[in-house]
Amino acid sequence: MSIEVLIKKDLGPFKLNIAFQSDSRRIGILGASGCGKSLTLKSIAGIERPDEGRIVINGKALFDSSERMNLKPQLRKVGYLFQNYALFPTMTVEQNIAAGLTGKKGQIMHQVREMVERFHLNGLEKRLPGELSGGQQQRVALARMLVCEPEVILLDEPFSALDVYLRDQMQRELMQMLETYPGIVILVSHSRDEVYRMSEEMLVLEQGQIAGQGNTKQLFDEPGNMTIARLTGCKNIAKVRPVDSGIYVEDWDMELPVRERTGANIQAVAIRAHQFCVRKTEENECLVFPVLEPVVTEDLFEYNISFRTSTHASGRVDWKISKDAWQYGRDEMPERIYLKKSDLHLLTE
């Protein structure tokens, strides 16, 4: 399994210009709304035509502007799952699944029955989409895609319109249904949790360009730049400059003694709000953060604390701690908290 995408598209104020190759079977594309995620998927599916470039899946070119070649969507063996599933509203479940099939009626019905069994749609065959739950509609849409044996499945923000409970449930169901699918799955989302759970490799898009690519868990562990840090959920990001002891963070008015880890290209640092500790874990491997002027907000399961590290600090630091780990009274606060040096992310830009 492999995919190569090198495309450009000029939409006036917005320009898509991305290039990536991957041998991974599960790829996530993370980015804010309007960064080009859906446009990338539509280009791969053949719904949008790039101005120039090349798209190759498993060695087969789907689009090549230099050769003036652009396969029609129905010839690309690419399945596209839209946000609203795009089922035909006047067709039954079995008619929707059979919609893209050709051949003898008996063979088509045999394929449909296999999909009904595989996706646990027994008893729903004669129902219309409007008579199904969201999860059932998703299973019908997947069955309709997979009955055509696509080499790639594209998931375009498939959970964005759902509430938290239903979203988590349908994510689990979708992951289970795709466990045995041997092809490439590409998920685009603005949700870091979805991409983290469902992909082994991740692309980070910003303003139509790739800001980072790599193993999903590794990019979360070591973001590398401010765009990746921000999109993967780092609440504390600040510019730095080198000093004798290590680096100085102007927003926090703090010197951080991490000289052994810094290099000439370090421009900023990032810290995830939940990685602070109330107690030192390793005597020589902890950074100390004074807690001044704290502002506490309470969520269902955690406290969110915003504080300054100095009376001269222009910025604040965000700290999240679960209520189970809180060891103080509601109005009490530690004078300082700690961070493992290994949890300080050093960023190149």
What pLDDT, on a 0 to 100 scale, did the predictor assign at position 113?
95
Edge to edge, the sheet with strand 3-11 lists 14-22, 3-11, 52-57, 60-64, 69-70
In this structure, the answer to whether residues 116 and 166 fall within a common structural domain is yes
Most confident option among 45-54, 133-142, 273-282? 45-54
**CA 9, CA 330: separation in Å to the nearest integer?**
54
Q: What percent of the chain has pLDDT over 70?
A: 97
Claim to verify: residue 186 and residue 245 sit in the same structural domain: no
Residue 219 shares a structural domain with residue 261: no
CA angle 224/225/231 to nearest 5° reads 105
pLDDT for 86? 86
Q: Are residues 287 and 255 located together in one domain of the fold?
A: yes
Question: Is residue 117 scored above 80 in pLDDT?
Answer: yes
Same-domain status, 21 and 109: yes
Residue-wise pLDDT for 314-344, tens only, equals 999 999 999 998 888 767 899 999 999 999 9
Per-residue confidence (pLDDT) for residue 160, from 0 to 100: 72
pLDDT reported for residue 330: 67
pLDDT at 120: 87
The answer to which of 44-53, 178-187, 195-204, 248-257 has the lowest mean pLDDT is 178-187
Residues 176 and 277 in one domain: no
Both 189 and 91 in one domain: the answer is: yes
Q: Do strands 345-347 and 268-271 pair parallel, antiparallel, or not at all (unpaired)?
A: antiparallel
Span 145-201, pLDDT tens digits: 889 989 999 999 887 766 777 778 778 888 887 888 899 999 999 899 999 999 999
pLDDT at 283: 59
pTM (2 decimals)? 0.88
- CATH code, domain with 212: 3.40.50.300
Range list of H helices, the chain: 37-45, 93-98, 105-118, 134-146, 164-177, 192-198, 216-221, 226-231
- Using the Cα atoms of residue 271, residue 272, residue 276 and residue 282 in order, give the sign of their dihedral: negative
Same domain, 174 and 149: yes
* Average pLDDT over the chain, rounded to an integer: 91
Tens digits of per-residue pLDDT, 69-97?
Answer: 999 998 999 999 877 788 999 999 999 99
Among 230, 256, 275, residue at a domain's last position: 230
Residue 220 pLDDT > 90, yes or no?
yes
Same domain, 71 and 206: yes
Are 222 and 238 contained in the same domain? Answer: no
Q: How far is 114 from 146, CA to CA, in rounded Å?
A: 11
Whether residue 51 is found in the same domain as residue 154:
yes
Q: What share of the chain is helix, strand, coil (3-state, %, to 5)?
A: 30, 35, 40
What is the domain extent for residue 256? 234-347
Digit-coded pLDDT (tens) for 257-316: 887 666 668 899 999 999 999 988 765 578 999 999 999 999 999 999 999 999 999 999
Check pLDDT > 70 for residue 109.
Answer: yes
pLDDT at 290: 97
Q: Domain boundary residue among 198, 230, 262? A: 230
CB atoms inside a 10 Å sphere around CB 282: 10
- Using the 3D structure, point to which of 193, 209, 230 is the last residue of a domain: 230
Q: Are residues 80 and 181 in the same domain?
A: yes
First to last CA, the chain: 33
Task: Domain count for the chain, please give it.
Answer: 2
Positive or negative torsion for Cα 26, 30, 33, 39: negative
